[in-house]
Amino acid sequence: MNDILRIAVQKSGRLSEDSFALIRECGVDFQNGIGQLKAQATNFAAEFLLLRDDDIPGYVADGVADIGIVGENVMAEKGKNVEIAHRLGFSKCRLSIAIPKNEEYRGVKGLEGKNIATSYPRILQHYLAENKVTADIHEISGSVEIAPSIGLAEAICDLVSSGSTLFTNGLKEVETIFRSEAVLIKQKNLPEGKLALLNKLLFRIKSVQNARKNKYILLNAPKDKIEEIRNLLPGMRSPSIMELADKNWVSMHSVINENDFWDVIEALRGAGAEGILVIPIEKMIL
C-alpha cells in the first residue's frame, strides 16, 4: 500500500515549464533543487525523475519510471513499448521536410536518392517507405537546419513550430510528416496501486484542462430576455439566475467554452445582455 508513482519529466527544455506548471496546477507540490535529478512530491505519492527527453520513453518502457511526459515525436521515434495515457495539448509542433528556399519542389518523389539530415530517422524512414521513396538518411543530433548550407545534406527533416528557424536558415517547408504535442505516457502493465495513483492524477489533469478551456460568465439580463439569453448559454447544466435589486433585471451565471467565446459574447449583447463579466476558472470537475 506504499506505492509511489514515478514520473519522468524533461529536466530542462521546451517541455519542462509547461510540464511543471501542469503538475503544480494539479496540486502536486515538490521541491526542485538546482542540479537535482530526483524530486519527491510533498503532498502526493509521487517522485519525479528529471531526465533528457530522449531517455523518457525507454525509462518508462523498462519500468524505471511508471509514467512520463514527452513529445509524441520522441515517443514515436524511440519506438518503445509504452502507451499514451493522455494527450496534454501543449508543446505542439510538427516534423517537416524542408529544402533550400530557391529550389523547386517536385513532390515527395523528388526526394528520391537525396541526402536528408534529421534527428528523426525512424519517423522519416517510415514516411519515405510509405511513399515508396528511397533516400539517404543522415542522422544528426542537433542543429539540423544548417546541414544544407554546409553541404551535408540536400534536404532536412526537423521540428517546426512557427517556421522562423527554417526561414532564417534559407529553407522552406515542403512536407509535414508528423504532428506532435506533449503526451503522458505510461508503462503498459502498471500494478494496481500505481494505476490508482495514475487515475487520481489523470482526474486532476482533466479538471485543469477543462478549466483552461472554459470561462465563467456573469451578465445582467432584462427579465423579458431570460429565455432568449438562456438559449445562448450552454452552461454545465443550465445557467444560474439571481434576482437583482432592480426587479426588471436578473443576473445570469454560466460557463462558456473558449472556442466559441467571442461569438457567444456578440450574440449575448445582441440579445440585450449588459455588464458582462468573464472570469477564469481554476478547476472544473465534470
Residues binding ligand ATP (CB under 6 A): 10, 13-15, 52-54, 71, 73-74, 91, 93, 159, 161, 180
Query: 74 vs 147, which CB is nearer to Mg ion?
Result: 74
Q: Between 16 and 251, name the residue whose CB sits nearer to Mg ion.
A: 16
Considering all CA atoms of the chain, what is the largest pairwise distance in Å, rounded to the nearest integer?
78
In whole angstroms, the minimum distance from the beta carbon of 4 to Mg ion comes to 26
Looking at the Cβ atoms of 14 and 212, the one nearer to ligand ATP is: 14
Contacted by 126, from Mg ion, ligand ATP, none: CB < 5 to 8 Å by type: none
What DSSP string describes 63-75? TSSSEEEEEHHHH
Give the CA angle between residues 15, 75, 163 to the nearest 5°: 55
User: What does the alpha-carbon distance between residue 32 and residue 218 come to, in Å, rounded to a whole number?
Assistant: 39
CA 139, CA 118: separation in Å to the nearest integer? 5
Which residues contact residue 150 at a Cβ distance below 8 angstroms, ignoring those fewer than 6 apart?
Answer: none
Number of residues that bind Mg ion (CB under 5 A): 2
Q: What angle do CA 118, 121, 123 make, to 5 degrees?
A: 110
Nearest residue to 34 via CA among 50, 47, 55? 50
Grid coordinates belonging to 81 = 513499448
List residues bridging with 8 in a β-sheet.
49, 68
Q: Name which of 15 and 137 has its Cβ closer to Mg ion.
A: 15
Q: Are 177 and 98 in contact (CB under 8 A)?
A: no
Find the helix or strand (DSSP H, E) in which 183 lies.
Answer: strand 182-187
The site partner of 161 among Mg ion, ligand ATP, none (C-beta below 5 to 8 Å per kind) is: ligand ATP
Does position 154 bind Mg ion by CB under 5 A? no
Shortest distance (Å) from residue 40 CB to ligand ATP? 21
Residue nearest to ligand ATP (CB): 71
Determine phi and psi for 27, rounding to 5 degrees.
Answer: 80, 20
| Closest CB 154 distance from ligand ATP, rounded Å | 23
What's the closest the beta carbon of residue 221 comes to ligand ATP, in angstroms?
A: 42
Q: Residues 203-232 vs Mg ion: string with x where CB under 5 A?
A: ------------------------------
* Binders in 45-64 for Mg ion, by CB under 5 A: 53-54
79 touches, from Mg ion, ligand ATP, none (C-beta below 5 to 8 Å by class): none
Interface with Mg ion, residue 158, by CB under 5 A: no
Q: Which residues bind Mg ion (CB under 5 A)?
A: 53-54
